[in-house]
Amino acid sequence: MRTRSLMCLLSVVLASPVAAAGVDLAWDACLGDPGALSLKTFACDDNAGQDALLISFVPAVSMPSVTTLEIAIDFRTRSGVPLPAWWEVGAFSGCRRGQMGVNPSLQISGPSCAPWITDPQPPRFVISRFDIRVPTPDVAHLLVSAHPASGGVLAGQHYLGCQIVFGHAGAVGTFTCAGCREPVEFTLNAVRLATVTTEMLLTQPQTSNHVQWQLDPPVATRASTWGAVKALYR
């Protein structure tokens, strides 16, 4: 049982902060690398395949021995409607249970992000908390942790924290889960790195900590007559 969590408001003091420190979020690749996307669109017509959400960060200070990493992400519908069944990926009885996981590999083919793990064995990632439709029906909170781990970070270097993977199962067919096309926004709220004696909490975007799922639907417009336009200026 953890005594401290990103879901609590941690009081953290950072020494000699680096101006560029912060967190980044992107689809398909580390933000800043070729192929990184801020908007992911899916036609919801195939149960095969998956989408990867890459969490990266730039430390404020150097930490030669990182033993714990935690990541806090929110996602919510952009229209304010309740999160649909498509996002029931972490609940035991959810429509798409098991369609969210963490890729343990930190080796990626991009120039921007370095792995924060020095141990040749990948860390053990755990989805340690997933709250859906709490405290409001339109939102979900996700907490991912990696520990015990063995790594180190240098201030100002861009690192890949982890890859969260969402499968496409439930898009079509007999067991379709509703809401795949509902536009959703993901926000990377915090990355916490800790050792036995120290910790660092990054909460500000380094470049961008938001990504989108699906385009917003077009807004219907109504043609105006010239008389109606002139009436606005009377």
Beta strand spans in the chain (E): 22-27, 39-40, 50-58, 63-66, 68-77, 100-103, 114-115, 125-132, 139-146, 151-153, 159-167, 184-194, 199-202, 210-213
128, pLDDT greater than 50: yes
- Enumerate the domain spans of the chain: 22-231
What does pTM read for this prediction? 0.84
Do residues 85 and 178 lie in contact, with contact meaning Cβ atoms separated by under 8 Å? yes
What percent of the chain is modeled with pLDDT above 70? 83
Do residues 163 and 103 lie in contact, with contact meaning Cβ atoms separated by under 8 Å? yes
82, pLDDT greater than 80: yes
